[in-house]
Chain A
Amino acid sequence: MNDMDAGLLQDFLTESGELIEQLDQDLVTLESAEGDDQSEVCNACFRALHTIKGAAGFLGLEAVTEFAHAAEDALNKLRKGEVAVTPPVMDLLLQSADVVRGQIEQLAAGDDPQRGDPALIEQLHAVANGTFGDAGAAPTQTDAEGQQSDEASGASGDLPGVPLELGPQKMDLIEFMAADLKEYVNQLDDAIDGIGNDATREESADSLAEIADNLVKTADFFELDDLTKLTQLLLDVAPKLHDAKHDLLDDIVVRVKACRSLIDEQADALENVRALSWPIDTFTQRLATLADGTAVEAGDHGNDVAKVLEIDGVTEVKPEASDDAGPIAKIEPDADSAAAPANAEAAKPEAEQRSGEDRRQGDRRQSAGAAAPEQTIRVEVGRLEELLNLVGQLVLSKNRINGVARDVRDTAGIDPDFAERVGEAAGDLDRLTGELQLGVMRTRMQPLAKLFDRYPRVVRDIARMADKKINLEVEGKETEVDKSVLEALADPLVHILRNSADHGIEPTEDRRGAGKDETGTIRLVAEHQGSHVRVAITDDGKGLNREVLAAKAIERGLTTPDACDKLSDNEVFRFIFEAGFSTAKQVSNLSGRGVGMDVVRTNIAKLNGTINIESKWGEGTTIEILIPLTVAIMPAMVVESKGEQYAIPLQTILEIVRPEDQAISSVQGQRVVRIRDTVLPLVDLRDRLMQPPADPSQRFAVVVKVGGTMAGLVVDRLIGQQEIVIKPLDDSYTQGGPFSGATIREDGQVCLILDVVDVLKSASAQLAKAA
């Protein structure tokens, strides 16, 4: 890669990444949108691609520019309604978005982006030329071709010398570039006003230079000699204004204004695809001279822009001139040479310009949004992580202070007033830390939309490939979760959705046969539930078949026929989360390898989340995921097992009981406890932690539930409930135990966090063996 500014590149990557996401969504929306909506969405797509292309061009990323350009051309045809929105065309465009995404990812990885597949580019060109594919473009093909040739003849002579940049299909780019140009011109006003004032001159000159820089770049696009000259002139002059001579200031300012007015006129003219040209040599020379600090003998302009343009010979001296012979020469698009001034038809362009005004308003409205004061700032994730880490440590210190305050209160002989003061201070600290923690946590919250918005595309692709009709309904995508939760959810949700779409929803014929709506529906719903987020994926497909799953589970040795009979439906369904468990007869392109659902379970477990399946054969399946809002800090019950302390996530705990001796019995070698009406297997934590066994009576049973499994975890003693800060236990030396992490106790010692899923899993393995 060349030595482009790393910061610029980073900005580009961030922005383009977001734009591509947006583009993806919009393209999928586009397919189902109708009428006005469609053209609006189409415009949004076009804009996104265009922005990426522009930025890539600026950074000299040719591979990206080239491809984005081709895609843009194709999209442009859709935008104009010359090519119908058909699935093949959309496939192509979505693929194109993927290519650009790939290129951006390559860049992010520090590689040079690869050029797009020539075949794909060829197809895009075909769309742009209206010759794409078969049925897709057919209805409009003749129409498109007709227009095409019109444009071709028009454009070839339109802006001479630039057939490549402004080829027939690219005419519409002008509209965007002209809007940009116009926008910059409007920005000029403030800067110019400031120059006249001594106090603000330097600042204004700087901003003028900045705007001029943008202008030059935009103007380059058009390859118009005069426009380039004028913008370049502004750029050259701007820095010299810092110490412009005072007595020349009027002369300069009025000419800068004149400059602005000329560029403005050109911008307006561009809306109608017209190039302007003026005899500006005298004018430019005079402004340059003035800026260099030399007076110019020109005549009195009375600070009037029109007057100064006359004086400098840009416009003809024609006091009343307005309609019959325009003050400014205009070139018709099909004129032979850009340099040839044509005075005719001045009035018509004027009118057209005015009608163009309305359109421009629309464009400007969007840029006005960008000019509003910023309500958000981008913060590096690393800084937030650091902040969260600090808050985590603060929570630990707070816990310690609280411990000390308790000690002070409980120690005999300490002045009760003093103890109370310490207690109060500790209480305040407790509250404040809690709020701070919440605040910092919020900064890391992101809406699930970030994920959910990708899924219509996923489902669409599967539907296309499997030739099914699937409608994805998304609800609650504004629900916010911690960034790390969001990231960890990404893969599981895709796997579940794929499963639902590929295996859940039946082929169209089958659905018809079953008397169902031909179009399958997948509902993706998210909502807050206390300190948790519930995400549910429901499909109205064929549902899970208990018999098939049970047979498979027995075949794979996960259970025995006898044991399996005793399992609830829910427990049988859970086998789909086992690694390598797939009942699909064929491994398709999309799923069936039996890896996906295993990933789901592992990822959800990592988040201390739980997962549930409900399904009715023939009616559909619901997979429900419950995850904590954040993974960094959570409430837990600290317990003791043979003098060692362990934390159990509170969210997995249903209740804690002290089983009476007579409630404990043994079923097939497995200790069980009867609590009210249920019989629960008992898992002695000491067994799992390789400690010498102890009699379960006189100890506590922590009733935990993860997924469909419930068990009583026997511990020696309860220490108490605490907010714990989760620290990773990621060293290879310390992995492998039934622990999801570690936390730091009030006294600074390490306390391991039990991975209840793991604890119960090995318990149920023992159960299966016993049975």
Chain B
Amino acid sequence: MSEPTPTDAALHSDSDILQLVSFEIGPEEYAIPILAVQEINRMMSITRVPNAPESVEGVINLRGRIIPVVDLRKKFGMDVSEDSADTRIIVVEVGDEGRVLGFMVDRVNQVLRLGRDIVDPAPSVSGATSADFIDGVGKLDDRLLILLNLDRLFADTELPETEIAQAA
């Protein structure tokens, strides 16, 4: 199975335009390739899984399939906030084996097309490897967009809980 994953396909294809979904976690705005997104759901009840990694909120029933849900706030080391009416679970497919999981975001903003030329490589912060799962930063007129690499973001359960907020 050497098929490129949706993430790869979107970010590393030759196309000059990236199609992204942007969302907010805390004060930052992030974006992921639209092809990686399976669906976006409203908050639903999540069943806690004891012994799961800290950032794993639990599991949900996605039409008969049990998938884990990750709280990106916890993963990014941010303060945990209350779920609001805007909280969403974005269900994505990552990795070569079609692993499906969901992650919680504070708000889903928009679908946007971004020219590759306005995306800068991830800033390297001295001594930090935390930018591992950042594919780049998109410079919009009024704001910055952090492009996440989902494969790397969810690659390892034992990923150190780095503070991506600072890196950005």
> A536 in the interface, Cβ–Cβ < 8 Å?
no
> Which of A396, A734, A738 contacts B56 (CB under 8 A)?
A734
- Interface segment, one of A318-326, A471-479, A604-612, A724-732: A724-732
Q: Which residue of B lies closest to A729 (CB)?
A: B66
CB contacts under 8 Å to B, within A728-766, are: 728-729, 731-734, 736-739, 742, 744, 748-752
Number of B residues near A (Cβ < 8 Å) is 22
* For the complex of A and B, 3 pairs with smallest distance between CB atoms: A737-B51, A750-B47, A733-B68
Q: What are 28 of the A-B contact pairs (CB < 8 Å)?
A: A393-B64, A644-B47, A644-B48, A688-B50, A690-B51, A727-B66, A729-B49, A729-B59, A729-B66, A731-B67, A731-B68, A733-B70, A733-B101, A734-B49, A734-B52, A734-B56, A734-B68, A736-B52, A738-B51, A742-B47, A744-B64, A749-B45, A750-B47, A750-B58, A750-B59, A750-B66, A752-B47, A752-B59
Rounded to whole Å, the gap between the CB of B75 and the closest CB of chain A is: 11
Q: B12-52: contact bitstring with A at CB < 8 Å (1 yes, 0 no)? A: 00000000000000000000000000000000010111111
The answer for the CA separation of A644 and B99 in the assembled complex, in Å, is 26
The answer for the CA separation of A733 and B68 in the assembled complex, in Å, is 7
> Which of A389, A728, A751 contacts B47 (CB under 8 A)?
A751
Q: Which residue of A lies closest to B158 (CB)?
A: A732
> B60 in the interface, Cβ–Cβ < 8 Å?
yes
> A392 in the interface, Cβ–Cβ < 8 Å?
yes
Whether B49 contacts A737 by the Cβ 8 Å rule is: yes
Whether B51 contacts A733 by the Cβ 8 Å rule is: no
> A771 in the interface, Cβ–Cβ < 8 Å?
no
Whether B68 contacts A727 by the Cβ 8 Å rule is: no
CB-CB < 8 A to B64: which residues of A?
389, 392-393, 396, 727, 744
The answer for the CA separation of A393 and B66 in the assembled complex, in Å, is 13
Whether A731 contacts B99 by the Cβ 8 Å rule is: yes
Whether A736 contacts B51 by the Cβ 8 Å rule is: yes
Whether A750 contacts B56 by the Cβ 8 Å rule is: no
CB contact under 8 A between A744 and B61, given known A733-B68, A752-B47: yes
CB contact under 8 A between A742 and B66, given known A731-B99, A748-B61, A749-B45: yes
CB-CB < 8 A to A689: which residues of B?
50
CB contacts under 8 Å to A, within B45-100, are: 45, 47-53, 56, 58-61, 64-68, 70, 99
Whether A733 contacts B65 by the Cβ 8 Å rule is: no
The answer for the CA separation of A76 and B109 in the assembled complex, in Å, is 76
> B124 in the interface, Cβ–Cβ < 8 Å?
no
> B129 in the interface, Cβ–Cβ < 8 Å?
no
The answer for the CA separation of A751 and B49 in the assembled complex, in Å, is 10
The answer for the CA separation of A302 and B156 in the assembled complex, in Å, is 86
Give the bracket for the number of chain A residues in contact with chain B: 20 to 34
Known: A727-B64, A729-B49. 16 other contacts (CB 8 A): A644-B48, A690-B51, A732-B157, A733-B70, A736-B52, A737-B49, A737-B51, A742-B47, A742-B59, A742-B66, A744-B64, A744-B66, A749-B47, A750-B59, A750-B60, A752-B47
Rounded to whole Å, the gap between the CB of B157 and the closest CB of chain A is: 5
The answer for the CA separation of A389 and B65 in the assembled complex, in Å, is 10
CB-CB < 8 A to B53: which residues of A?
733
CB contact under 8 A between A733 and B157, given known A644-B48, A727-B66, A739-B49: yes
Rounded to whole Å, the gap between the CB of B97 and the closest CB of chain A is: 10
Whether A737 contacts B66 by the Cβ 8 Å rule is: no
Whether B52 contacts A733 by the Cβ 8 Å rule is: yes
CB-CB < 8 A to B157: which residues of A?
732-733
CB-CB < 8 A to A727: which residues of B?
64-66
CB-CB < 8 A to B68: which residues of A?
731, 733-734
The answer for the CA separation of A396 and B53 in the assembled complex, in Å, is 29
For A389, A728, A750, which residue has the most chain B Cβ atoms within 10 angstroms?
A750
CB-CB < 8 A to B99: which residues of A?
731
User: Which residues on A are within 8 Å of B, measured CB to CB?
Assistant: 389, 392-393, 396, 644, 688-691, 727-729, 731-734, 736-739, 742, 744, 748-752
The answer for the CA separation of A652 and B56 in the assembled complex, in Å, is 29
CB-CB < 8 A to A752: which residues of B?
47, 49, 59
Q: Which residue of B lies closest to A641 (CB)?
A: B50
CB-CB < 8 A to B60: which residues of A?
750
Rounded to whole Å, the gap between the CB of B64 and the closest CB of chain A is: 5
> Which of B50, B61, B65 contacts A737 (CB under 8 A)?
B50
The answer for the CA separation of A748 and B51 in the assembled complex, in Å, is 23
The answer for the CA separation of A728 and B64 in the assembled complex, in Å, is 11
Rounded to whole Å, the gap between the CB of A48 and the closest CB of chain B is: 35
Q: Which residue of B lies closest to A392 (CB)?
A: B64
The answer for the CA separation of A688 and B101 in the assembled complex, in Å, is 25
Q: Which residue of B lies closest to A727 (CB)?
A: B66
Rounded to whole Å, the gap between the CB of A582 and the closest CB of chain B is: 30
Rounded to whole Å, the gap between the CB of B81 and the closest CB of chain A is: 21
For B60, B66, B70, which residue has the most chain A Cβ atoms within 10 angstroms?
B66
CB-CB < 8 A to B50: which residues of A?
688-691, 737-738
Rounded to whole Å, the gap between the CB of A639 and the closest CB of chain B is: 14
Rounded to whole Å, the gap between the CB of A733 and the closest CB of chain B is: 4
CB-CB < 8 A to B52: which residues of A?
733-734, 736-737
> Which of B47, B48, B51, B101 contacts A731 (CB under 8 A)?
B101
Whether B61 contacts A734 by the Cβ 8 Å rule is: no
The answer for the CA separation of A393 and B65 in the assembled complex, in Å, is 10
The answer for the CA separation of A695 and B157 in the assembled complex, in Å, is 34
The answer for the CA separation of A728 and B70 in the assembled complex, in Å, is 18
Rounded to whole Å, the gap between the CB of A39 and the closest CB of chain B is: 50
Q: Which residue of A lies closest to B154 (CB)?
A: A733
The answer for the CA separation of A636 and B59 in the assembled complex, in Å, is 20
For B59, B68, B99, which residue has the most chain A Cβ atoms within 10 angstroms?
B59
Q: Which residue of B lies closest to A741 (CB)?
A: B66
The answer for the CA separation of A621 and B99 in the assembled complex, in Å, is 44
The answer for the CA separation of A731 and B60 in the assembled complex, in Å, is 12
Rounded to whole Å, the gap between the CB of A693 and the closest CB of chain B is: 14
Q: Which residue of B lies closest to A396 (CB)?
A: B64
For A690, A731, A733, A751, which residue has the most chain B Cβ atoms within 10 angstroms?
A733
The answer for the CA separation of A396 and B63 in the assembled complex, in Å, is 11
The answer for the CA separation of A742 and B47 in the assembled complex, in Å, is 10
CB-CB < 8 A to A734: which residues of B?
49, 52, 56, 59, 66, 68
The answer for the CA separation of A596 and B150 in the assembled complex, in Å, is 38
CB-CB < 8 A to B56: which residues of A?
733-734
Q: Which residue of B lies closest to A390 (CB)?
A: B64
Rounded to whole Å, the gap between the CB of B117 and the closest CB of chain A is: 36
The answer for the CA separation of A1 and B92 in the assembled complex, in Å, is 37
Q: Which residue of A lies closest to B99 (CB)?
A: A731
The answer for the CA separation of A719 and B48 in the assembled complex, in Å, is 18
Rounded to whole Å, the gap between the CB of B125 and the closest CB of chain A is: 27
CB-CB < 8 A to B70: which residues of A?
733
Rounded to whole Å, the gap between the CB of B154 and the closest CB of chain A is: 8
Rounded to whole Å, the gap between the CB of B98 and the closest CB of chain A is: 12
Rounded to whole Å, the gap between the CB of A749 and the closest CB of chain B is: 5
The answer for the CA separation of A734 and B60 in the assembled complex, in Å, is 11
Rounded to whole Å, the gap between the CB of B96 and the closest CB of chain A is: 14
Q: Which residue of B lies closest to A728 (CB)?
A: B66
The answer for the CA separation of A265 and B119 in the assembled complex, in Å, is 82
The answer for the CA separation of A691 and B49 in the assembled complex, in Å, is 12
Rounded to whole Å, the gap between the CB of A720 and the closest CB of chain B is: 18
The answer for the CA separation of A731 and B92 in the assembled complex, in Å, is 14
CB-CB < 8 A to A396: which residues of B?
64
Whether B61 contacts A750 by the Cβ 8 Å rule is: yes
Rounded to whole Å, the gap between the CB of B130 and the closest CB of chain A is: 20
The answer for the CA separation of A691 and B48 in the assembled complex, in Å, is 11
The answer for the CA separation of A342 and B20 in the assembled complex, in Å, is 87
CB-CB < 8 A to A750: which residues of B?
47, 58-61, 66
CB-CB < 8 A to A739: which residues of B?
49
Rounded to whole Å, the gap between the CB of A390 and the closest CB of chain B is: 9
CB-CB < 8 A to B48: which residues of A?
644
